[in-house]
């Protein structure tokens, strides 16, 4: 038989609810849980960054296809540079050669003012074109490497041609370049303001290039989203990269950049996907790898690094003796 309790006044009920909510956090209602701020929700849903997991993931992805991951971006750089040289620089070189031929063979004598003016114009065009080619190729290869790394890490890579087509978009490359320039400008300004603001802004907007290429966001949107992604995680990101760089410092100095450039890109991919809360995209298509290929690339990178050290020391030694 049910016992009927005396009805309580609204005031008494309110006092009991307040006491319960302050006495224990377990009695919070669903409506009250929905009032949790967005920042708190983002932090609770975010996966904690792990240096060990990032290094392990990058190593496994790289060693699954070491030749390809290491040399594909280099191949794209060479092909793109050659294509631009043929399209942009070769006509200027031929024009300059034709002009010199006309001056020396057909006209003879000392160069006239018109030939000197033409030579100066062609020299300027040649120099400006070379700078443009270097700048554009560098931007394109940077974007390609980032996209390529993302596809390798997520197991969505199809072919170099497909990745090339994804990046070969003037609007996308322009946004990517604009984002990089704006990020670099803010970072440098921050460094001038007693260093600390530069570090904070550098971490706050670190994902701008990724968001432009991966999410196809505008420059303004990418800065806004990157700031939201890193809200409450700047300290974590700083500590992560500090210890990652500390761990890889000696191996990189010994072995060289041929191996560690793709490793760092894959680590950056891991960090981006963790912070953007898309860890389900992390994937390793194949765990089968060739120990011989891995060993040869490490050996090749080591030899190149040793040669660079020898050349540097030799140039310094010769410079001192020459002075």
Using a 10 angstrom Cβ sphere, with 0-12 exposed, 13-18 middle and 19 or more buried, the burial of residue 229 is buried
CB distance 282 to 47 below 8 Å: no
Contact between 182 and 204 (Cβ < 8 Å): no
Distance in angstroms (rounded) separating the CA atoms of residues 99 and 96: 5
User: Which range, of 33-47, 91-105, 209-223, averages the lowest pLDDT?
Assistant: 33-47
Q: Give 208-244 pLDDT, tens digit per residue.
A: 999 999 999 999 999 999 999 999 999 999 999 999 9
**Are the CB atoms for 213 and 176 separated by under 8 Å?**
yes
Query: Phi then psi for 8, rounded to 5 degrees?
Result: -105, 150
For the stretch 263-284, pLDDT in tens is: 999 999 999 999 998 888 888 6
Q: What does pLDDT average to over the chain?
A: 79
With beta carbons less than 8 A apart as the criterion, state whether 302 and 256 touch.
Answer: yes
Percent of the chain residues past pLDDT 70, beyond the cut:
76
The CA-atom distances, in angstroms, between 127 and each of 93, 131, 132, 297 are: 11, 6, 9, 36
**Contact between 263 and 59 (Cβ < 8 Å):** yes
Tokens of 281: 């995209």
């Amino acid at each position: 038989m049910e016992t009927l309790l005396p009805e309580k006044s609204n005031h008494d009920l309110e006092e009991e609810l307040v006491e319960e909510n302050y006495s224990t956090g377990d009695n919070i209602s669903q409506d009250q849980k929905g009032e949790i701020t967005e920042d708190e929700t983002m932090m609770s849903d975010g996966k904690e960054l792990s240096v060990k997991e990032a290094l392990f993931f990058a190593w496994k992805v790289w060693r699954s296809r070491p030749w390809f991951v290491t040399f594909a971006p280099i191949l794209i750089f060479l092909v793109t540079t050659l294509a631009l040289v043929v399209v942009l620089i070769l006509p200027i070189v031929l024009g300059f050669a034709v002009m010199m031929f006309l001056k020396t063979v057909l006209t003879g004598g000392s160069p006239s003012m018109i030939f000197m003016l033409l030579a100066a114009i062609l020299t300027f065009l040649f120099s400006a074109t070379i700078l443009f080619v270097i700048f554009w190729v560098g931007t394109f290869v940077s974007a390609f490497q980032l996209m390529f790394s993302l596809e390798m890490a997520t197991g969505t890579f199809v072919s170099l041609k497909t990745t090339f087509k994804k990046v070969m978009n003037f609007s996308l490359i322009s946004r990517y370049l604009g984002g990089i320039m704006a990020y670099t400008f803010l970072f440098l300004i921050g460094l001038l303001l007693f260093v600390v603001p530069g570090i904070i802004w550098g971490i706050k907007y670190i994902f701008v290039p990724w968001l432009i290429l991966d999410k196809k966001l505008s420059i303004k949107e990418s800065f806004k989203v990157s700031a939201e992604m890193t809200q409450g995680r700047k300290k974590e990101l700083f500590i992560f990269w500090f210890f990652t760089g500390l761990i890889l410092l000696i191996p990189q100095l010994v072995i060289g950049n041929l191996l560690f450039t793709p490793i760092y890109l894959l680590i950056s991919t891991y960090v981006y996907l963790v912070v953007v809360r898309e860890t389900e995209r992390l994937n390793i298509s194949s765990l089968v790898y060739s120990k011989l290929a891995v060993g040869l690339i490490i050996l090749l990178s080591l030899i190149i690094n040793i040669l660079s050290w020898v050349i540097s020391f030799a140039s310094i030694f010769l410079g001192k003796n020459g002075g």
